[in-house]
Amino acid sequence: MDPQASPLALATPDEFLPPLFRICTAMGSTLDLHDLLELILHLTLEELGAQQGSILLLEENGERLRMLASHGLPPEVAARGYMPRQGSIAEWVIQHNEPLILNDVGRDPRFTSIATGRRIRSSMCVPLRAKGRVIGTINTTRAEGDEFRAEDLRTVLILATQAAVSIDNARLYERSLAAERMATLGKTVAAISHCTKNMLTGLKGGISIVDMGRRQRNWGLVEQGLEMARRNTEHISSLIFDMLEYSKDRKPSRAPFVAAELIDEVFAGVSYAAQNARIDFRSRVDPACQTIRADAHQIYRALLNLVANAVEAIQMKPVHEGEVEIAVEEMPADAPLVSECLADRKGRFVAVRVRDTGVGIAAGDRDGIFTPFFSSKGSKGTGLGLAVTRKIAREHGGEVTFESQPGQGTTFSLLLPVPEHPEDAGGSI
């Protein structure tokens, strides 16, 4: 990589992929229920050529249907956030536990009130089933065009299976988070279990796509399924390594590595997570720091955590676009950035700085961001990433620090001491 700033166009939507593949891939990469269901609904409507749709979930008391995602509905309906059960198509589907295609809503005495004041050509409602019970419905409507047919129903039934698994997993996880008195170990196990469950679901989805491609002799589909399985395997591996990294002390095995090559690997590692946003990835390497002596594997893990957080910070903005830069530079021990957190240290340091233009860190979260299992991202994080990053920095005799402006972005600086003698840098210390 050129030491000068060089953008990487990695954030490109995979519009050419089949909806099932895109949904299964998303399940392995996000733990946020709202984002996932919005994607499932979007892909469902896109695949069907429908103009309106919603995903409804039965509330715990069973009285109302909570609207988790919607598109094209009247503003007053979407703003209400729920649908009454009585007399609705969703109620019929829930009671009978079977899907329904309705091509003449206005003439069906069961649902005449639903069509009043609305232009409906054809409606379809499919139950969301989890562990043998109906937990909600996916609803789609065509205001114009052809009526829904049997093949449309088969498509939505497949998508509904994926949605139901995600909803059920997320509800279990949310219940665990609501238990404020749960022990730290209990919280951790719940977070990791939910994380792993979604990744395994994505892995199984990849295997299913491989089987589908093999039966159809569609080798392109086989390749997509293999890629999806590989990425979910990497996600599981990453989670396990984070846990192992934090749970035991270790001495870094220092050896020279090329900084630009490691940065390329880190950017490639977040390419999928960034593809639903417009993000420029840039790097800038000081000529004096082309080669760094440190544990390349551990530094990769630390930077991957920081860059993944930077991508998520940009995706939290109303407009999902921004910039992530990794800058590598050498600085003396008396430089303010070093002296403020590593007082009385001598020699030279390499500063690896990860800068983003995301939402920044809220003032109330700053004191706790390096605390194990602390997370401001709800179901999106297990709270280990930054704790592991700081542990890696300190095991190298360095530190990690940050600067942040709400609404403008954050810069994390990974400070690594430069060994004074070559023999100090090689082997295990």
291-313 residue pLDDT tens: 999 999 889 889 988 998 899 88
Least confident of 147-151, 190-194, 262-266: 190-194
Do 296 and 220 sit in the same domain of this protein?
no
- In a domain? residue 127: yes
Q: What is the count of structural domains for the chain?
A: 2
Do 232 and 327 sit in the same domain of this protein?
no
Do 207 and 264 sit in the same domain of this protein?
no
Buried b (16+ CB within 10 A) or exposed e, 108-121: eeebeebbeeeebb
Boundary (domain end) residue, out of 219, 241, 263: 241
Do 65 and 88 sit in the same domain of this protein?
yes
pLDDT, tens digit, for every residue of 47-66?
888 989 999 988 766 677 88
- In a domain? residue 13: no
Query: Could you tell me whether strands 291-294 and 253-258 are parallel, antiparallel, or unpaired per DSSP bridges?
Result: antiparallel
Amino acid, single-letter form, for residue 385: G
Contact residues for 28 (Cβ-Cβ < 8 A; gap 6+): 198, 199, 201, 202, 203, 205, 228, 231, 232, 235
Q: What are phi and psi of 280, to 5 degrees?
A: -90, 130
Amino acid, single-letter form, for residue 304: L
Q: Residue 254 is part of which domain span?
A: 250-428
Do 103 and 159 sit in the same domain of this protein?
yes
pLDDT, tens digit, for every residue of 320-352?
889 999 999 999 888 888 888 887 778 889 999
Residue 282's alpha-carbon distances to 1, 261, 262, 393, 402, in angstroms, are 10, 13, 13, 23, 19
Region of residue 256 (left: phi > 0; alpha: psi -120 to 50; beta: else): beta
For residues 108 and 122, the model is more confident at 122
Do 174 and 281 sit in the same domain of this protein?
no
* Distance of alpha carbon 349 from alpha carbon 292, whole angstroms: 10
Do 271 and 343 sit in the same domain of this protein?
yes
Boundary (domain end) residue, out of 241, 262, 293: 241
Nearest-10 Cα torsion for 363, 364, 370, 376:
-110
Do 160 and 256 sit in the same domain of this protein?
no
**Nearest CA among 351, 359, 335 for reference residue 412:** 351
Could you tell me the pLDDT band of residue 162, with boundaries at 50, 70 and 90?
confident
Tell me the DSSP string of 36-60.
HHHHHHHHHHHHHT-SEEEEEEE-T
Q: What is the mean pLDDT of the chain?
A: 78
For residue 114, the model assigns a pLDDT of 52
Contact residues for 115 (Cβ-Cβ < 8 A; gap 6+): 105, 106
Where do we find the tokens 């179901």? 379
Residue 57's alpha-carbon distances to 130, 201, 344, in angstroms, are 12, 21, 59
Bridge partners of 256, per DSSP, are: 293
Do 311 and 219 sit in the same domain of this protein?
no
% of the chain residues with pLDDT over 70: 71
Residue 177 belongs to a domain with what CATH number?
3.30.450.40
For residue 421, the model assigns a pLDDT of 59
Could you tell me the pLDDT band of residue 413, with boundaries at 50, 70 and 90?
very high
Residue 248 has pLDDT above 50, yes or no: yes
- In a domain? residue 304: yes
% of the chain residues with pLDDT over 90: 20
